[in-house]
Structure 1
Amino acid sequence: MAEALNDHVYVAVSKDVGESKSTLLWALRTLRLKKLFLLHVHQPTPMNPTSSGLEQSEINTIHESEETSSYESLWKYRDICVDEGVLAHDVDILWIQADNVGEGIVELIYENNITKLIMGAAADSHYTEGMVNITSTKAKYVSDAPHCCKIWLVCNGNLIQTREGRFDRVGSSASLSSLHGLDSALILYEGSGSTEHGTESARASETMSNEEQRRRLESEEREQLEREREEALSSYNSLTQILYNEEVRRRRVAEEELNRAKVEIENMKAIQKELEEQLHIEYQRDEDVNANEELLRSLNPAEGEPSSHSSSSPFQWSVSDETPPYFICPITKDIMRSPHVAADGYTYEEEEIKRWLSRGGDKSPMTNLMLENHNLTPNHILRTAINDWMQQNNRTHNSL
């Protein structure tokens, strides 16, 4: 069962998320935390213009980039906490810049009166079953400093050591001298009743009260900044969503208008094509009518001109072996026996045009345009003309 802690708990994390992730997860899954601080010591790359050959502005840029990278890592740790069910406003960051990580952690312990600290005892790769020794120099350094802080030392998600916190009035740390002075002052005041000792005690109490108030204000300020950041982020996300939805709506309207325009254009093209086909058919029909009229004029003898022989035929032909081209079927190239007019206005041999249509020929054999229908009309005038021409030329034409 997880241990419940009402005090603030600090977890020391490095810039490399993979290095400290197991330590953080152990704290989140082992202890029920009320408030969690991610404690980090930032180590800037030591460089100066003389040794590096860089301008100070360039060095500053490098250090700023390093700080940005460290902050990004801390936000990743924060995301891990949220993923484990910790509320975002219950996770805070405590940051210090120092050349030595162990010294930086100790300084933060003193400055913030840290009483609960969790840190790595060694690199996860150095973990062995039953491990009890600390190999991390940082952990060794910190474990010897302020006794008022309880420290959990973890490796690869396993607790290695626990150092209980206690107050040590004989401690050698100068940063605890104010607490030690306060403790001594209270003892002297109770023993002697001295007004001077009472004044020192009151002064020490006031100092501690001011320090506690300062920390509380700093904590409230951090929480306020965090709330403002979250509100700004929420407003930004809301505005982004609104703009995105508006852009999607505009694109949808534009696409609908474009689709309507495309449909209208296609309809206009279809209408235009249909009109062109109809005009072409009408033109072919007119041409066929004109050809038939011309045929009649050419076949009928001139009025009052005597006939060269007695014949019942209304047509007179000059003796010639050349077949008139309008007697020829466009498909078979033979003289037609049963000429029929199709929907394209051209005349074909009946059997041939029917065979053409039965095989799926929906387009005119002559124009390659779609036929309006499959209706066929007998061309009696042309049939009579062909029969007459055949008789006058003494030719046999079966089935005519």
Structure 2
Amino acid sequence: MNPTSSGLEQSEIDAIQVSELTSTYESLLKYHDICLHEGIIEQDVEIFCDVGDNVEEGIVNLIYENNIKKLIIGAAADSRYSEGMVNITSRKAKYVSSHAPHCCKIWLVCNGNLIQTREGRFDLEGSSHSSSESLASLHDLDSALIPYEDVVRAEPDSESHALSSSPEDQSARGSAATYYEEQRRRLEIEELKRELEQHDKMNREREEALSSSFGVTQMLYSEEVRRRREAEEELNRARAEIKDMKRVQKELEEQLYIDCPRRLDMAEKERDEAIKKTEELLRNLYMEKGESSSDSPSSASQWSVSNEPPPYFICPISKEIMQNPHVAADGYTYEANEFKIWLSHGGEKSPMTNLRLENHNLTPNLALRSAINEWLQQHPYFFDLP
């Protein structure tokens, strides 16, 4: 795949190849885990991926290099499997079955079913030498054998005819043919090795490019982690500030709740004293004018100044003088029934501050109730006023 033939950018081609290579290694790791699950020692399990143009030659070369004695290979694509299938349709499977060494037993399978078996055998019974050792031994026999070309080119006289027709000559020709066949295979293997070296070089370059891309990805990931950490730290600081603000607000509310009754008592005392002084001044004023007791300020109009109840006697909800004053959670005093009606109609906030009430508890304001009762006793005509 190249930019000219595919119409893609080189970066896109590299990304596709990296994706395919990653998928291949994931499959190999699954096979690795299957082997371990079946009880194979981990040191005996090795996975290998070779990128090449000629896959079948690469497989044959690996068989020779690693002296593989048993091989399982697909006979066809799984999608092409049919019941009673006996023929091999895979080009790679045909090539490997024909060119693999005879000592390698091959199982050809498709879709989990065994299609054919190529039994392995040894040309020299009981021999465990590698293919390179066999080539060396054949090379040593070279001096003792009659070259195959010389036998073919010999003049057909009676002597040579007799020589070639003898069993010894026939054995020599067979050995020479075997030798040259092995030599041909050796040359093919050397060519394959050169191709593999080129493929290994390409693999290393790809791995270096992959490592470089991984380095960039790692840098971007580290930068993202740093930003998230800073954002979390900023969020934690904001939460701590909000928590401190709530704590301070709660302390202020508690202090206000404590100071409110005390301040209310002081205000009531000041009010009572002011009322007494006002009434006393009014009596003295009328006495100085010489008015009779019948003309004294006994009517509501004459006592209009002192007849007005103090503002803190008035319920903020009903705007009327309270008879059963209670302190709510916001620190203000309300008529108990009026405040309960306010809550029953969905009033979750304070009627005075418009802030959410922490609770719906009511505390009797005994001092204020006593002051109201005392004031009403001094002004029995209050509720009769228009």
CA 1:281–1:126 in 2, change beyond 3 Å: closer, same or farther? same
Query: Aligned pair 1:273/2:263, yes or no?
Result: no
The higher relative CO (CA closer than 8 Å, separation ≥ 6) is in 1
Match of 1:89 among 7, 21, 43: 43
- Count residues in correspondence: 272
> CA offsets per residue over residues 360-397 of structure 1, 9 Å max, x none?
8799977788887214332354123312778xxxx699
What is residue 29 of structure 2 aligned with on the other side? 78
Question: Secondary structure of the equivalent of 1:153?
Answer: strand
CA contact (8 A) 1:341 1:378 kept: no
Q: CA deviation at 1:311?
A: 6.2
* RMSD of aligned residue pairs (Cα, Å): 5.2
> CA offsets per residue over residues 287-334 of structure 1, 9 Å max, x none?
333232222222221286366223699x76684596833188546656
CA contact (8 A) 2:325 2:333 kept: yes
CA 1:83–1:386 in 2, change beyond 3 Å: closer, same or farther? farther
Query: TM-score if structure 1 supplies the norm length?
Result: 0.50
Matches within 5 A, 1:17-166: 45=1, 62=13, 66=17, 69-70=20-21, 72-83=23-34, 85=37, 86-145=40-99, 146-166=101-121
What is residue 308 of structure 1 aligned with on the other side? 291
What is residue 178 of structure 2 aligned with on the other side? none
What is residue 184 of structure 2 aligned with on the other side? none
Aligned residue identity for 2:77? A
Matches within 5 A, 1:288-299: 288-299=268-279
Structure 1 CA distance, aligned partners of 2:3 and 2:382? 117
CA 1:177–1:92 in 2, change beyond 3 Å: closer, same or farther? closer
CA contact (8 A) 2:64 2:131 kept: yes
**Higher normalized strand content (fraction of residues):** 1
Q: CA deviation at 1:347?
A: 9.2
Aligned residue identity for 2:63? I
Query: Aligned pair 1:384/2:367, yes or no?
Result: no
CA 1:317–1:367 in 2, change beyond 3 Å: closer, same or farther? farther
CA 1:340–1:316 in 2, change beyond 3 Å: closer, same or farther? farther
- Further displaced range: 376-385 or 131-140: 376-385
Q: CA deviation at 1:115?
A: 1.9
Consecutive unaligned residues in structure 1, runs of 5 or more: 1-44, 170-174, 192-251
Structure 1 CA distance, aligned partners of 2:378 and 2:333? 14
CA 1:132–1:104 in 2, change beyond 3 Å: closer, same or farther? same
CA 1:103–1:385 in 2, change beyond 3 Å: closer, same or farther? same
Q: CA deviation at 1:149?
A: 1.5
Structure 2 CA distance, aligned partners of 1:126 and 1:265? 74
CA contact (8 A) 2:333 2:365 kept: no
Q: CA deviation at 1:118?
A: 1.1
Consecutive unaligned residues in structure 2, runs of 5 or more: 125-129, 145-167, 169-231
Question: Secondary structure of the equivalent of 2:364?
Answer: coil
Query: TM-score if structure 2 supplies the norm length?
Result: 0.52
Q: CA deviation at 1:179?
A: 1.5
Structure 2 CA distance, aligned partners of 1:115 and 1:75? 26
Question: Secondary structure of the equivalent of 1:378?
Answer: helix
Aligned residue identity for 2:109? V
